[in-house]
């Protein structure tokens, strides 16, 4: 208990989320003045650069058992709950829109997952179970905020205005795909929506996001960078790099970790031994909160407060959103090989969509009839977009050679010409009919 | 000006001209361990010239993020030997960003500077020349200057180039290479090689410090064998000036390529293969490569490791006798 106080100044047990940012600020201002360890000598004696600390004559080692795990911020506790603190209220229109987008994402996932099973697209990754944290956080941001994502954040794009047709075009790699069919499905990106194009190497986007945040701060724009990643990705060296750079260089970035329990087949139990990802935040000097990722209202409110702090102070925030990956890792994965059906069905019953719907129904913002109608109309528009995207031609094959550099160097031009001659000669052996001619 | 002063001058011009440009890396704030950034923080402030934590993957990633936001980002990796932790960021990210996003995003404003090459006593991790690793990466541009004048022009060229660039700076030249360097702004075009000495018997191709070794070897050849060598500074590793090298090869019929990096899969292999393909009927002898050995770069054996002027001379003599 004394140690607990030493590390958290005794605040941890009585966290008042309304004031969490201000509280921590106060705490920072009077570090070490109220430390609970009984034998303390003069603070100023130490003089170690960057470490403000007192001495103790007790031989103590610290581990995560030395203090309580960081609590999970939650607003929607149970299905019956109809009331929660006023300051967390969101206007009704926004709430129904949030729910509608969660539903849309869920239905689009089902259609595209099935289409991969039928061999119509090559690959897909669903967002099932994580719709709440995606839509909840996205709704708390503005279009001026720059997004860097991992790959399981389609909901963020959906919220920002990426159309179902845009998603389909990318998955098909047809000529309407802005990235010209070069990347695998679900590697979305949009300059217009300030969403940096996704790449497969995990965590590389984290230090990049920090760099962009530094640029935003220098330009004095009232915006921040929001960077999403999974708990598995947090084990990469780039995560360490990013947290440390963001803190030392004071960058307005919001790190959002989707802790969904699994990195493909590797459960969190094999991924880390500390108190999750959140506990790492304070170790880097980053203001941190852990939220219930299946509670869209909690995610929204935490993101909103974090964003304000980021922009106001120019400093980073870490949000660890606790959730569960209900779907398989990807279409190349059968998750029943490493986890139980019971575990999945437990989370299926506690999904963010169900929880939010129960709440909306309880305050008469949603009803069974609306649910059914929305389901049908979303499904119809997804299927329509899907069929349209499937019919479109792929980009001209010569786009294989463009955009490597701003202007095509001679050696690449020579390779293009060589392939051109080859394709002319052997045209019947190449799928030219499904590609545009120029 | 010597080479570090020329680089410092180029950096100062950039910061002056481009109010968004920033310089960062390990220990650049106080002037850098090779003095290349000396006085810049004092003049332009801590927001624009700053130390980062000690983490190369972070430096590269951070630079990509700045450049993606449209900021001129000049990153320093303290030694080229320590660029490998940033390999993923440079190869998978910087190089591919424009391509994979269909041109929606790019980080062309990123320039990475890294001291490279032998220095007399650098051992395994203060001597490497890793240009060939990066030359296998479409999307990057790679240059190496042979002196102060080239360093400034190439640095400004890299900074203004709309693609991510890596400049490897032969660290032994920082204080030893002294040129008349124009104080004004100028750039040297990336992708262009330079004939530094004309000749008709053998073409010698090298870059960085090795150009000076080849010049000395050419003197030896002239003195002892009475024939003239054409010496080419490749300058740009990627994209490289195959046209100029092949033109010279067709004229002389004999080519010797020399670099400090190990032989197997060194950039010399790419040049040799291209010359063979483009100049087959003009060649009087097989293309020769004089390079570091296929071993790590050793400490006390450095004089036996490097492709020095005597090894280059021997190669030229052998190719003339073929």
In A386-405, the residues whose Cβ lies within 8 Å of chain B are 402-405
Among A333, A321, A256, A253, CA closest to A290: A321
A79 pLDDT band (50/70/90 cuts)? low
Contact status of B303 with chain A (Cβ, < 8 Å) = no
A22 pLDDT band (50/70/90 cuts)? very low
Instruction: For chain A, give the percent of residues with pLDDT over 90.
Output: 82
Burial class (CB in 10 A: 0-12, 13-18, 19+), A117: exposed
Residues of chain A found within 8 Å of residue B73, distances taken between Cβ atoms: 211
Contact status of B286 with chain A (Cβ, < 8 Å) = no
A46 pLDDT band (50/70/90 cuts)? low
Q: Report whether pLDDT(A14) > 50.
A: no
Q: Yes or no: say if B260 and B162 are a contact pair by the CB < 8 Å rule.
A: no
Mean pLDDT score, A309-333: 96
Contact status of A191 with chain B (Cβ, < 8 Å) = yes
Residues of chain A found within 8 Å of residue B63, distances taken between Cβ atoms: 211
3-state class (DSSP) for residue A425: helix
For CATH 3.40.50.970, list the domain ranges present in chain A.
92-391
CA distance B182 to B185: 8
CA distance A283 to A200: 28
User: How far is residue A119 from each of residues A38, A114, A430, measured CA to CA in Å?
Assistant: 67, 9, 20
Are residues A179 and B104, on separate chains, in Cβ contact within 8 Å?
Answer: yes
Residues of chain A found within 8 Å of residue B19, distances taken between Cβ atoms: none
Query: If you ran DSSP here, which 8-state letter would residue A155 be given?
Result: H
Contact status of A221 with chain B (Cβ, < 8 Å) = no
Report the pLDDT value the prediction gives residue A1, as an integer from 0 to 100. 33
Residues of chain A found within 8 Å of residue B65, distances taken between Cβ atoms: 207-215
Q: What is the mean pLDDT of each run of 10 residues along chain B (322 residues)?
A: 98 98 98 98 98 98 98 98 98 98 98 98 98 98 98 98 98 96 98 98 98 98 98 98 98 98 98 98 98 98 98 98 96
Residues of chain B found within 8 Å of residue A201, distances taken between Cβ atoms: 88, 92-93
A34 pLDDT band (50/70/90 cuts)? very low
Report the pLDDT value the prediction gives residue A180, as an integer from 0 to 100. 97
Report the pLDDT value the prediction gives residue A45, as an integer from 0 to 100. 61
Are residues B102 and A403, on separate chains, in Cβ contact within 8 Å?
Answer: yes
Residues of chain B found within 8 Å of residue A191, distances taken between Cβ atoms: 101, 104-105
**pTM summary value:** 0.94
Report the pLDDT value the prediction gives residue A51, as an integer from 0 to 100. 87
Report the pLDDT value the prediction gives residue B304, as an integer from 0 to 100. 98
CA distance B105 to A179: 10
CA distance B197 to A178: 48
Residues of chain B found within 8 Å of residue A246, distances taken between Cβ atoms: none
Per-residue model confidence as pLDDT tens digits over A338-366:
999 999 999 998 899 999 999 999 999 99
Residues of chain B found within 8 Å of residue A183, distances taken between Cβ atoms: 100
Give the mutation candidate from A241, A255, A412 for the B interface (greatest B CB count, under 10 A): A241
Q: Which of A209, A240, A411 sits opposite B65 (nearest CB)?
A: A209
Report the pLDDT value the prediction gives residue A23, as an integer from 0 to 100. 41
Q: For residue A314, how many other CB atoms are within 10 A of its CB?
A: 19
Q: What is the token pair recorded at B131?
A: 């240009």
Report the pLDDT value the prediction gives residue B175, as an integer from 0 to 100. 97
Distance (Å) from the alpha carbon of B49 to chain A's nearest alpha carbon: 12
Contact status of B85 with chain A (Cβ, < 8 Å) = yes
3-state class (DSSP) for residue B164: coil
CB crowding B110-139: b at 16 or more within 10 Å, else e: bbbbbbbbbbeebeeebbbbbbbbbbebbb
Angle, nearest 10°, between helix axes A131-139 and A296-313?
Answer: 40
Report the pLDDT value the prediction gives residue B12, as an integer from 0 to 100. 98
Question: At the topology level of CATH, where does B3-176 sit?
Answer: Rossmann fold (3.40.50)
A329 is catalytic: yes
In A358-377, the residues whose Cβ lies within 8 Å of chain B are none
Give the distance, in angstroms, between the CA of residue B5 and the centroid of all CA atoms in the same chain: 17
Q: Which residue of A has its CA nearest to B190?
A: A409
Are residues A405 and B98, on separate chains, in Cβ contact within 8 Å?
Answer: yes
Q: Yes or no: say if A438 and A397 are a contact pair by the CB < 8 Å rule.
A: no
Report the pLDDT value the prediction gives residue A338, as an integer from 0 to 100. 95
A37 pLDDT band (50/70/90 cuts)? very low
Contact status of A242 with chain B (Cβ, < 8 Å) = yes
Tell me which residue has tokens 């010597």. B2
3-state class (DSSP) for residue B248: helix
Find the length of chain A.
Answer: 438
Contact status of A218 with chain B (Cβ, < 8 Å) = yes
Q: For residue A427, how many other CB atoms are within 10 A of its CB?
A: 10
A437 is catalytic: no
A42 pLDDT band (50/70/90 cuts)? low
Please check whether the two domains, B3-176 and B194-321, share a CATH topology: yes
Contact status of B19 with chain A (Cβ, < 8 Å) = no
CA distance B158 to B247: 26
CA distance B195 to B5: 25
CA distance A395 to A437: 8
CATH of B194-321, one of 3.40.190.10, 3.40.50.300, 3.65.10.10, 3.40.50.920: 3.40.50.920
Q: Sign of the C-alpha dihedral, residues A188, A189, A192, A193? A: positive
Mean pLDDT score, A89-102: 96
Q: Which CATH superfamily is domain A92-391 in?
A: Thiamin diphosphate (ThDP)-binding fold, Pyr/PP domains (3.40.50.970)
Per-residue model confidence as pLDDT tens digits over A143-158:
999 999 999 999 999 9
CB pairs under 8 A between A and B: 155
Contact status of A41 with chain B (Cβ, < 8 Å) = no
Per-domain residue ranges for chain B? 3-176, 194-321
Q: Report whether pLDDT(A272) > 50.
A: yes
Give the mutation candidate from A211, A251, A285, A314 for the B interface (greatest B CB count, under 10 A): A211
Tell me which residue has tokens 């404003």. B109
* Arithmetic mean of pLDDT over chain A: 90
Q: Report whether pLDDT(A27) > 50.
A: no
Are residues B58 and A238, on separate chains, in Cβ contact within 8 Å?
Answer: yes
In B236-265, the residues whose Cβ lies within 8 Å of chain A are 239, 242-243
> Of the ranges A48-62, A246-260, A270-284, which one carries the lowest mean pLDDT score?
A48-62
């Amino acid at each position: 208990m004394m140690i607990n106080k030493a590390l958290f100044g005794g605040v941890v047990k009585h966290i008042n989320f309304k004031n969490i940012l201000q509280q921590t600020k106060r705490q920072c201002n009077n570090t070490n003045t109220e430390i609970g360890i009984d034998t303390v000598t003069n603070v100023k004696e130490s003089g170690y650069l960057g470490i403000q600390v007192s001495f103790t004559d007790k031989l103590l080692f610290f581990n995560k058992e030395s203090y309580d795990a960081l609590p999970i911020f939650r607003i929607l506790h149970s299905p019956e709950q109809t009331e929660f603190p006023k300051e967390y209220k969101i206007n009704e229109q926004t709430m129904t829109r949030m729910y509608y987008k969660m539903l849309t994402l869920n239905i689009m996932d089902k259609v595209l997952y099935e289409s991969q099973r039928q061999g119509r697209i090559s690959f897909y990754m669903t967002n099932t179970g994580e719709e709440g944290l995606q839509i909840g956080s996205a709704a708390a941001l503005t279009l001026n905020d720059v997004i860097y994502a991992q790959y399981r954040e389609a909901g963020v794009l959906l919220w920002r205005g990426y159309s179902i047709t845009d998603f389909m075009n990318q998955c098909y790699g047809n000529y309407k795909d802005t990235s010209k069919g070069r990347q695998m499905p679900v590697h979305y990106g949009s300059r217009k929506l300030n969403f940096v194009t996704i790449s497969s190497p995990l965590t590389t986007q984290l230090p990049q996001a920090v760099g962009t945040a530094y640029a935003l701060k220098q330009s004095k724009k009232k915006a921040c960078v929001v960077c999403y990643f999974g708990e598995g990705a947090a084990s990469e060296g780039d995560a360490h790099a990013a947290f440390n750079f963001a803190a030392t260089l004071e960058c307005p970035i919001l790190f959002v970790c989707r802790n969904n329990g699994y990195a493909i087949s590797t459960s969190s139990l094999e991924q880390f031994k500390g108190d999750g990802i959140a506990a790492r935040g304070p170790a880097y000097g980053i203001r941190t909160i852990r939220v219930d990722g299946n509670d869209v209202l909690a995610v929204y409110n935490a993101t909103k407060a974090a964003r304000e702090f980021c922009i106001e102070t120019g400093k980073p925030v870490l949000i660890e959103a606790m959730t569960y990956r209900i779907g398989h890792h990807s279409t190349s994965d059968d998750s029943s090989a490493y986890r139980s059906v019971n575990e999945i069905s437990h989370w299926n019953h506690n999904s963010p969509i169900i929880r939010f719907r129960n709440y909306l129904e309880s305050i008469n913002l949603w009803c069974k009839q609306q649910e059914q109608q929305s389901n049908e109309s979303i499904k119809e528009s997804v299927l329509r977009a899907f069929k349209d995207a499937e019919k479109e031609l792929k980009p001209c094959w010569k786009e294989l050679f463009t955009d490597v550099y701003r202007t095509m160097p001679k050696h690449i031009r020579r390779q293009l010409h060589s392939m051109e001659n080859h394709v002319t000669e052997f045209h019947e052996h190449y799928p030219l009919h499904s590609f545009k001619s120029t | 000006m010597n080479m570090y002063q020329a680089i410092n001058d180029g950096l100062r011009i950039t910061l002056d001209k481009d109010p968004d440009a920033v310089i960062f890396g390990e220990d650049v704030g106080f002037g850098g361990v090779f003095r290349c950034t000396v006085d810049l923080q004092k003049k332009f402030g801590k927001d624009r010239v700053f130390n980062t934590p000690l983490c190369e993957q972070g430096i590269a990633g951070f630079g990509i993020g700045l450049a993606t936001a449209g900021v001129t980002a000049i990153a320093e990796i303290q030694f080229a030997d320590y660029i490998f932790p940033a390999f993923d960021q440079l190869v998978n990210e910087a190089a591919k960003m424009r391509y994979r996003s269909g041109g929606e995003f790019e980080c062309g404003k990123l320039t990475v500077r890294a001291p490279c090459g032998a220095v007399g006593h650098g051992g395994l991790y203060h001597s490497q020349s890793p240009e060939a690793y990066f030359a296998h990466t479409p999307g990057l541009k790679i240059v190496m200057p042979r002196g102060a004048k080239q360093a400034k022009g190439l640095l400004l060229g890299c900074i203004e180039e709309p693609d991510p660039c890596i400049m490897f700076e032969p660290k032994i030249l920082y204080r030893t290479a002294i040129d008349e360097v124009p104080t004004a702004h100028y750039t040297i075009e990336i992708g262009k090689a330079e004939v530094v000495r004309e000749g008709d018997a053998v073409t010698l191709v090298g870059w960085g410090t090795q150009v000076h070794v080849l010049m000395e070897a050419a003197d030896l050849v002239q003195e002892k064998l009475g024939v003239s060598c054409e010496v080419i500074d490749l300058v740009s590793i990627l994209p490289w000036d195959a046209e100029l090298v092949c033109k010279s090869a067709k004229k002389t019929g004999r080519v010797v390529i020399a670099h400090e990096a190990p032989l197997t899969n060194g950039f010399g292999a790419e040049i040799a293969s291209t010359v063979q393909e483009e100049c087959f009927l003009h060649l009087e002898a097989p293309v020769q490569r004089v390079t570091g050995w296929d071993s790590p770069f050793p400490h006390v054996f450095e004089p036996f490791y490097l492709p020095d002027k005597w090894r280059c001379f021997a190669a030229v003599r052998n190719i003339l006798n073929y």
